[in-house]
Chains A and B, each alone.
Chain A
Amino acid sequence: MFNIRSYDERLKDFDWSIAEKELGYKEGDVINIGWYISDRICEMGKADKPALIWEGFNGEEKNYTYNDVKRFSNGFAVCLQKIGIKPGDRVCLFMDRVPELYIGFVGIIKMGAIAQPLFSAFGDESLFVRLNDAGTSAIITQKKHVSKLRKIREQLPNLKHIIIVDYDGDKPLQEREAAFSMEKADAPEKFDIYPSKAETPSLLHYTSGTTGQPKGVQHVHYSLISQYLTTKWVLDLKDDDIYWCTADPGWVTGTSYGIIGPWSMGVTQCVLDSGFTADRWYGFIEKHKITVWYSAPTAIRSLMKAGEEPIKKHNLSSLRHLCSVGEPLNAEAVIWSQKMFDKPFYDTYWQTETGSMMICNYPGMKVKPGSMGKPFPGITGTVLNPDTHEPWETYGKVGLIAFRPGWPAMMRTYWKNQEAYQNKFKNDWYLPGDRSSIDNEGYFWFIGRDDDVINTGGHLVSPFEVESALLEHPSVAESAVVSKPDEINMEVVKAFINLKPGIKVDDDIELEIMNFIRKKLSPLAMPQEIEFVDSLPKTRSGKIMRRMLRAKEWGEEIGDISTLEND
Chain B
Amino acid sequence: MEEMHKNVLDYVKREYLDDDQEIGLDSPLISSGIVDSFSMVSLKRFLEKKYSISIPDDKATPEAFDTVNKICVLVHEFNKK
The CA-CA distance from A514 to B43 in the complex, in Å, is: 10
Q: Within 8 Å of chain A (Cβ to Cβ): is B31?
A: yes
**Residues of B within 8 A of A (CB-CB), count:** 26
Q: Within 8 Å of chain B (Cβ to Cβ): is A280?
A: yes
Interface string of B28-70 (1 = CB under 8 A from A): 1111111111110110011001000000000001110010000
Q: Contact between B41 and A526 (Cβ–Cβ < 8 Å)?
A: yes
B18, B33, B34, B49: most-surrounded residue (chain A CB, <10 A) = B33
A519 contacts which chain B residues (CB < 8 A)? 15
Q: Given A144-B18, A144-B21, A511-B42: A276 and B49 within 8 A (CB)?
A: no
Q: Give chain A's interface residue range (CB within 8 Å of chain B).
A: 35 or more
Q: Contact between B45 and A510 (Cβ–Cβ < 8 Å)?
A: yes
The CA-CA distance from A276 to B37 in the complex, in Å, is: 8
Q: Given A96-B33, A275-B33, A277-B31: A507 and B45 within 8 A (CB)?
A: yes
A96, A144, A171, A273: most-surrounded residue (chain B CB, <10 A) = A144
A127-145 residues with Cβ-Cβ distance < 8 A to B are: 143-145
Q: Contact between B62 and A276 (Cβ–Cβ < 8 Å)?
A: yes
B46 to chain A, nearest CB (A): 6
Q: Within 8 Å of chain A (Cβ to Cβ): is B26?
A: no
A449-472 residues with Cβ-Cβ distance < 8 A to B are: 456-457
Q: Contact between B31 and A57 (Cβ–Cβ < 8 Å)?
A: yes
B51 to chain A, nearest CB (A): 12
Query: Which of B19, B21, B39 is the one whose CB lies under 8 Å from A518?
Result: B39
The closest CB in chain A to the CB of B38 belongs to A523
The CA-CA distance from A233 to B45 in the complex, in Å, is: 45
Interface string of A49-89 (1 = CB under 8 A from B): 00000000110000000000000000000000000000000
Q: Contact between B28 and A57 (Cβ–Cβ < 8 Å)?
A: yes
Q: Contact between B41 and A277 (Cβ–Cβ < 8 Å)?
A: no
The CA-CA distance from A494 to B33 in the complex, in Å, is: 23
Q: Given A57-B28, A276-B30, A514-B45: A523 and B36 within 8 A (CB)?
A: yes
Q: Within 8 Å of chain B (Cβ to Cβ): is A302?
A: yes
Q: Contact between B62 and A511 (Cβ–Cβ < 8 Å)?
A: no
B19 contacts which chain A residues (CB < 8 A)? 147
Q: Within 8 Å of chain B (Cβ to Cβ): is A563?
A: no
The CA-CA distance from A503 to B5 in the complex, in Å, is: 31
The CA-CA distance from A57 to B46 in the complex, in Å, is: 26
The closest CB in chain A to the CB of B52 belongs to A507
Q: Contact between A274 and B49 (Cβ–Cβ < 8 Å)?
A: no
The CA-CA distance from A151 to B39 in the complex, in Å, is: 22
Q: Within 8 Å of chain A (Cβ to Cβ): is B20?
A: yes
Q: Contact between B30 and A528 (Cβ–Cβ < 8 Å)?
A: no
Q: Within 8 Å of chain B (Cβ to Cβ): is A524?
A: yes
The closest CB in chain A to the CB of B57 belongs to A487
The CA-CA distance from A279 to B28 in the complex, in Å, is: 14
Q: Within 8 Å of chain B (Cβ to Cβ): is A121?
A: yes
B15 contacts which chain A residues (CB < 8 A)? 515, 519
B41 contacts which chain A residues (CB < 8 A)? 514, 526, 528
Q: Within 8 Å of chain B (Cβ to Cβ): is A508?
A: yes
B63 contacts which chain A residues (CB < 8 A)? 277, 279
Q: Contact between B32 and A275 (Cβ–Cβ < 8 Å)?
A: yes
Q: Contact between B38 and A275 (Cβ–Cβ < 8 Å)?
A: no
A56 to chain B, nearest CB (A): 9
The CA-CA distance from A494 to B75 in the complex, in Å, is: 26
The closest CB in chain A to the CB of B46 belongs to A511
The CA-CA distance from A2 to B41 in the complex, in Å, is: 43
Q: Contact between B32 and A511 (Cβ–Cβ < 8 Å)?
A: no
Q: Contact between B18 and A147 (Cβ–Cβ < 8 Å)?
A: yes
Query: Which of A121, A277, A507 is the one whose CB lies under 8 Å from B62?
Result: A277
Q: Contact between A457 and B31 (Cβ–Cβ < 8 Å)?
A: no
A302, A515, A519: most-surrounded residue (chain B CB, <10 A) = A515
Can you show 7 pairs from A to B with CB atoms below 8 A apart? A57-B31, A144-B20, A171-B20, A275-B35, A457-B37, A492-B38, A518-B38
Q: Which residues of A contact B (CB under 8 A)?
A: 57-58, 96, 121, 143-145, 147, 170-171, 273-277, 279-280, 302, 306, 456-457, 488-489, 492, 507-508, 510-511, 514-515, 518-519, 523-524, 526, 528
